[in-house]
Amino acid sequence: MKDDQALKLLKKTKAILTNGHFVGTSGRHMGIYINKDALYPHPMEASKMGKLFAQKNMKLNIDVVAAPALGGIVLSTWTAYHLSKLKKKEVLGVYTEKDAEKNQIFTRGYDALIKGKNVLVIEDLTTTGGSVKKVVDSVRKAGGKVVRVCVMVNRDPENINSKSIGAPFSSLAVLKAESWEEKDCPLCKKNVPVNTSVGHGKKFLEEKKKSLSS
């Protein structure tokens, strides 16, 4: 499998945005943004992405695919579907949800489906790897074994890897995209307008306005 297949699917659904000023879910600023939400409404392309995940990891012993909500619901289901077909056995697809402390936890009784099982943890994008590490922690807490973490696109391969994640790690594609804390953001310093239609740009500006007025 070539890495560019995942990027082709994202480009086809106009999910890769460049030459802008974006704020990601981690709060970091960037000039290139992958709007994974543009992929999910297209069932054929979402299915193909799940198939890429399945093909990448089909040689592993996998019982369950787990991913963080919300986008992970789509990815875990399609990946589990294609793994089930490839392995000729049922592979379950589950997801974690954020709690009040922003941890990724299993609800809806899904922790019972994890116990004693080999789990493939998947995620759409990694900037800091924070969300996927929380899923790994929840899988282990529930008594499951993380056989691999696999992400759709790794945006920082130098810093996001097996060592930093704490589990075997791979990705379908790599798209290097530098990101910055607000205080270090060159786009902020140049007064480049923040994109408010995707990511957390709108939320960032609202919070900034509140802090300035208080």
Q: Is 136 left (phi over 0), alpha (psi -120 to 50) or beta?
A: alpha
Per-residue pLDDT of the chain (214 residues; tens, 9 = 90+): 456 899 999 999 999 999 999 998 888 999 999 999 999 999 999 999 999 999 999 999 999 999 999 889 999 999 999 999 999 999 999 999 999 888 999 999 999 999 999 999 999 988 778 889 999 999 999 999 999 999 999 988 889 999 999 999 999 999 988 889 999 999 999 999 999 999 899 999 998 888 887 6
Say if CB 125 and CB 153 are below 8 A apart: yes
> What's the CA gap between 130 and 56, in Å, rounded?
23
How high is the pLDDT of residue 212? Answer: 81
How high is the pLDDT of residue 2? Answer: 52
How high is the pLDDT of residue 1? Answer: 45
Domains annotated on the chain, with CATH: 4-199 (3.40.50.2020)
